[in-house]
Amino acid sequence: MTAISELQSVIAVYLLYMCDKILNKATQIGLPCGHVIYCDRCSKDERTRTNVIKHYKSKCPYFNCGAPLTGTCEFQIN
Protein backbone atom coordinates (compact mmCIF):
# COMPACT_ATOMS: atom_id res chain seq x y z
CA MET A 1 0.00 0.00 0.00
CA THR A 2 1.42 3.39 -0.98
CA ALA A 3 1.46 6.36 1.38
CA ILE A 4 -1.20 8.12 -0.72
CA SER A 5 -3.63 5.19 -0.74
CA GLU A 6 -3.05 4.74 3.00
CA LEU A 7 -3.88 8.42 3.58
CA GLN A 8 -7.01 8.11 1.43
CA SER A 9 -8.14 5.15 3.54
CA VAL A 10 -7.68 7.13 6.75
CA ILE A 11 -9.58 10.11 5.34
CA ALA A 12 -12.43 7.85 4.16
CA VAL A 13 -12.96 6.62 7.70
CA TYR A 14 -13.71 10.15 8.86
CA LEU A 15 -15.88 11.32 5.98
CA LEU A 16 -18.92 13.21 7.10
CA TYR A 17 -21.78 14.53 5.04
CA MET A 18 -23.28 17.91 5.90
CA CYS A 19 -27.03 18.10 5.57
CA ASP A 20 -29.43 20.55 7.22
CA LYS A 21 -26.53 21.87 9.34
CA ILE A 22 -26.05 18.44 10.91
CA LEU A 23 -22.97 16.30 10.36
CA ASN A 24 -23.94 12.77 9.45
CA LYS A 25 -21.64 9.89 8.56
CA ALA A 26 -21.48 9.49 4.80
CA THR A 27 -22.63 6.01 3.80
CA GLN A 28 -23.42 6.26 0.09
CA ILE A 29 -21.21 6.20 -3.01
CA GLY A 30 -22.56 7.69 -6.24
CA LEU A 31 -22.64 5.43 -9.27
CA PRO A 32 -20.92 5.47 -11.72
CA CYS A 33 -18.53 8.25 -10.58
CA GLY A 34 -17.63 6.65 -7.23
CA HIS A 35 -17.70 9.78 -5.08
CA VAL A 36 -18.80 9.54 -1.44
CA ILE A 37 -21.85 11.79 -1.57
CA TYR A 38 -24.72 11.14 0.84
CA CYS A 39 -25.74 10.09 4.31
CA ASP A 40 -28.61 7.57 4.56
CA ARG A 41 -31.26 10.25 4.99
CA CYS A 42 -30.14 12.35 2.02
CA SER A 43 -29.86 9.27 -0.17
CA LYS A 44 -33.46 8.38 0.65
CA ASP A 45 -34.58 11.97 -0.07
CA GLU A 46 -32.78 11.95 -3.43
CA ARG A 47 -34.39 8.62 -4.41
CA THR A 48 -37.80 10.06 -3.53
CA ARG A 49 -37.18 13.16 -5.70
CA THR A 50 -36.08 10.95 -8.59
CA ASN A 51 -39.23 8.82 -8.31
CA VAL A 52 -41.71 11.67 -7.79
CA ILE A 53 -40.49 14.42 -10.15
CA LYS A 54 -41.06 13.28 -13.72
CA HIS A 55 -38.02 14.73 -15.53
CA TYR A 56 -35.67 15.02 -12.54
CA LYS A 57 -32.17 13.73 -13.27
CA SER A 58 -30.00 13.13 -10.23
CA LYS A 59 -26.44 14.49 -10.51
CA CYS A 60 -23.38 13.96 -8.33
CA PRO A 61 -23.12 16.86 -5.84
CA TYR A 62 -19.38 16.29 -5.24
CA PHE A 63 -17.61 19.62 -5.93
CA ASN A 64 -17.72 20.13 -9.71
CA CYS A 65 -18.42 16.52 -10.75
CA GLY A 66 -22.07 16.78 -11.78
CA ALA A 67 -22.03 13.32 -13.38
CA PRO A 68 -25.50 11.83 -13.98
CA LEU A 69 -26.16 9.29 -11.20
CA THR A 70 -27.58 5.90 -12.02
CA GLY A 71 -27.81 4.95 -8.36
CA THR A 72 -25.93 4.77 -5.09
CA CYS A 73 -24.12 2.00 -3.28
CA GLU A 74 -24.02 1.76 0.50
CA PHE A 75 -20.67 1.24 2.21
CA GLN A 76 -19.65 0.71 5.80
CA ILE A 77 -16.32 1.18 7.50
CA ASN A 78 -15.86 -0.86 10.62
DSSP state of 62: S
Is the full-model pTM beyond 0.85?
no
Which pLDDT belongs to residue 10?
Answer: 47
DSSP state of 66: -
Bridge partners for 25 per DSSP: 16
Q: Please state the domain extents for the chain.
A: 3-74
The tens digit of pLDDT for each residue in 22-71 reads 677 888 999 999 988 888 888 888 889 888 888 888 898 888 889 999 98
CA angle 24/28/42 to nearest 5° reads: 55
Q: How far apart are CA 58 and CA 60, in angstroms?
A: 7
